[in-house]
Structure 1
Amino acid sequence: MTGQHSLPRTRHEHLLRQLELHGSVSAADIAVQLGVSQVTVRRDIVELENAGRLARVHGGAIALGAPSVAQPARANIGVVVPSSVSHFPQIVRGMDAASRGGRTRVVLATSQYREELEQRQVERLVDVGVAGIILAPTMRSRTEAELAEWVSSVPVPVVFLERRLESTALAVYDSARTDHSRGAQLAVEHLASLGHRAVGLALFDRTPTAPLVRDGHGAAVARLGLADAPYAGLPKGEEGESDSLDDALVAFLEACLGGGVTAAVVHTDVHAARLVELATDRGIHVPDDLAIVAYDDDTASLAMVPLTSVTAPGRDLGQEVLRIMTERIASPDRTATAARHITMLPRLTVRESCGAIV
């Protein structure tokens, strides 16, 4: 194809501009925007990754901040996360920021929540010579014993990310995660401080975060002596699930208001934003009729009513987990130094949806 979009420099500038605006891009979307093939876009992404301008992920790329003066890397560190969208890009950016100071290079791969792909990605990273693996494992069908058996065969240090792993066999590994249970407690405590005596809970329950949010919500309700309130498990709401999501959210909304419950914690912020829309369609006002705190803060500020949300310590967590890995690479014998289990506290970002801002 001819024309200005066929010029590599023009394509690269467009790609980097979209990354600056959105934080991540898909090769398919960029190909449509530029009128070129996905093969061409993927080749551009590889060139920009080699130049240190972005990180390549399955199906596209994510931004890693402004480029710095190149330095010889001491070690490549492999990172395997389930997804390149939503929760993990901020963590990866934190790793990237920390890697520059430590003269390390982050090599990113995604598992798409598929255990077999996760294992292949780790094998590939080991084959290309990474000195360690930071891993957010998929736990949909494997047990912790099965995970421990597999990880014990990985020939480089492994640090777990964003998972609460309970077994003794896994406790010997370093880990860093967000305290999602405490984050849910922050949300309930805030709503209780505004005078609400019951707080409903709606969860996207097919995620590793959901059980921790449920535990934290229950602990805060019991400690504060709040009344029982409706609970709803929510589907993802994509690819044919939008009707079932709306049905679940409407049923939750009706159960709350029908029972005199005027506050709710909703995971995720995408689900919470949809709940606001459905409430508005029914003449229900947020926060006057129902105060909402979203769990997650990826797009919460963009909702019809900007959402008060539990904000994870993404960049801080990424910097911390990379520091742990760098130290573990320097001392790979797990029996020589104690395993470190780091838990970081999220914060509450107050916006209009809870009624605290007039």
Structure 2
Amino acid sequence: MEVDDDGIMMPLPRARHEYLLREVELRGSVRSAEVAAHLGVSEVTVRRDIIELERAGRLGRVHGGAIALGGARGPQAANALVGLVVPSTATHFPQVVRGMEALAPSLRVRLVLGVSHYRPDVEVAQVDRLVALGVQGLVVAPTMRDRTPAELSDWLRSIPVPVVLVERRMDATSRLHELDVARTDHAHGAVLAVEHLYGLGHRRIALAVYDRTPTARHVREGFATAVGRLGLDPGPDVSLSKGEDDPDRLAAELGELLDRCLATGTRAVLAHTDDHAARLVEAALDHGLSVPDDLAVVAYDDENADLAVVPLTSVTPPRRELGREALRMLVDRVADGVDGNDRSRPPRHVDLLPRLTVRASCGASG
């Protein structure tokens, strides 16, 4: 033990350093106030310890505490702790996370991930946990189901740190519109697909959409815009089920779509998602059709489109770029040094445009 300036006994520096490093290793971060209370020392003492350990390259100093450096080298690896809450790590969002991870070291940011599994209650708990951990900002892809826009707005605006929404398009009349957002222009992606098929000579195009996603309505909007602009004849329009829980139901829906295409002379389909498009191609082959000679298929989304039995031409969202842009926006907000409810700076809505990746399923050369 050593004696501080007030004559109070306190743990030796080595013991304090060992405690700090152990807590950072276990929890990923520590807060100076909590360490000071646990060890019975002043926050000034803890801050001095953190500065010393940062100079030694053992941890990263952030506002109010310290964070682990992870696999990065050197004491300059991190100076901010940022939370990320996404609904799933199975589809779409893994690449968004990878984009943020790739940029984080250059911004001296450490990321902490939470997954909501499309459950609002879990989402709220994840955000509360990250705020308690000491994150200085949050990137959130909020769950839109089972809550009204007003409820979602009230909750997001109550979060005491800056928030950037990712891959969500909010109603312009809603208070949600006042939050920073980075998103893909999915309507533009659907326009790209229709224009591409039109350029290949198709004048009637079917639409098949898995509607239980936030992306679906924007795909429909873009499709309708392109069809109207180009003066195309109406093609079959079907809503698809997920398929994982009831594959027979999805098979029946795809069979009905193919029958309607044959009956109307429709020889092109835009299918959302790429998993549904891949199953559509398999169903077409089972019906004795050739893809793309009898039926051209363009997928919306590009998770595994190149692995389909006929590699799928796909609308490719800029997921990694989206993650990087969302993190840049949040770091700018954090750098402002204001709390999450500050509205003094105008909100920023950034739309990134998807591209069309041409493969074999549409009959055009890449």
Q: Which category describes the TM-score, using the shorter chain as reference length?
A: 0.7 to 0.9
Number of equivalent positions: 297
User: Which of 234, 238, 244 is the matching residue for 1:238?
Assistant: 244
1:37-52 matches, within 5 Å, as: none
Question: What TM-score comes out, normalization by structure 1 length?
Answer: 0.80
Please show how residues 1-358 of structure 1 align to structure 2 within 5 Å.
68-70=72-74, 71-166=76-171, 167-239=173-245, 241-331=246-336, 332=338, 334-357=342-365
Q: 1:67 Cα shift? A: 5.2
Please give the alpha-carbon distance, in whole angstroms, between the structure 2 residues aligned to 1:164 and 1:68: 35
**Match of 1:192, as an amino acid?**
Y
Give the superposition deviation at 1:254: 1.0
SS across alignment from 1:152: helix
Task: Name the SS for the 2:233 alignment partner.
Answer: coil
How far does residue 106 in structure 1 lie from its aligned partner after superposition?
1.1
Question: Residues of 1 paired with 2:26 and 2:135: CA distance?
Answer: 20
The one-letter amino acid of 1:201's match is L
- Percent of aligned positions that are identical: 54
* CA–CA distance in structure 1, aligned partners of residues 126 and 258 of structure 2: 42
Instruction: Output one character per residue of 1:86-143: Cα deviation in whole Å (capped at 9) or x when no partner.
Output: 1001111111111110000111111000011111110011010101111101111211
Structure 1 gaps, min length 5: 1-46, 51-65
Post-superposition offset of 1:69: 2.7
Distance 1:233 1:181, change over 3 A: same
SS of aligned partner of 1:232: strand
Relative distance call for 1:120 and 1:49 in structure 2 (3 A) is: closer
| Matched AA of 2:273 | T
Secondary structure of the residue aligned to 1:228 is strand
Whole-Å separation in 2 of the counterparts to 1:210 and 1:69 = 42
SS at structure 1 position matched to 2:114: strand
Report the alpha carbon displacement of residue 73 of structure 1 after superposing the two structures with TM: 1.8
Contact 2:149 2:174 in 1 (8 A): no
> Within 2, Cα distance between the matches of 1:49 and 1:182?
42
Q: 1:357 Cα deviation (Å)?
A: 2.3
- SS of residue paired to 1:199: strand
Structure 2 distance, partners of 1:262, 1:140, is 35
8 Å CA contact 2:104–2:110 kept in 1: the answer is: yes
SS at match of 1:338: coil
**Closer/same/farther in 2, CA of residues 127 and 48 from structure 1, 3 Å limit:** closer
For residue 293 of structure 1, give the secondary structure of its aligned residue in structure 2. Answer: strand
1:200 match: secondary structure: strand
Task: Give deviations 1:153-206, integer Å, cap 9, x for gaps.
Answer: 111111111000114311211000000000001000000000000111001110
Q: CA deviation at 1:335?
A: 2.9
Deviation sequence 1:25-60 (CA, Å, 0-9, x none): xxxxxxxxxxxxxxxxxxxxxx8997xxxxxxxxxx
Question: Higher Cα Rg: structure 1 or 2?
Answer: 2
TM score, norm. by length of structure 2: 0.78
Name the CA distance, whole Å, in 1 between partners of 2:77 and 2:289: 58
Q: How far apart, CA to CA, are the structure 1 residues paired with 2:26 and 2:230?
A: 52
- Equivalent AA in structure 1 for residue 141 of structure 2: A
Shift of 1:68: 4.3
Counterpart Cα distance in 1 of 2:253 and 2:26 = 43
Query: Which residue of the partner structure matches residue 57 of structure 2?
Result: none
Instruction: Give secondary structure in 1 for the equivalent of 2:111.
Output: strand
CA 1:288 to 1:109, structure 2 compared with 1: closer, same or farther past 3 Å? same
> Using the alignment, how far apart are the partners of 1:123 and 1:111 within structure 2?
12
**One-letter identity of the residue aligned with 1:69:** R
Change (3 A) 1:352 1:341: same
* Aligned residue identity for 1:161: V
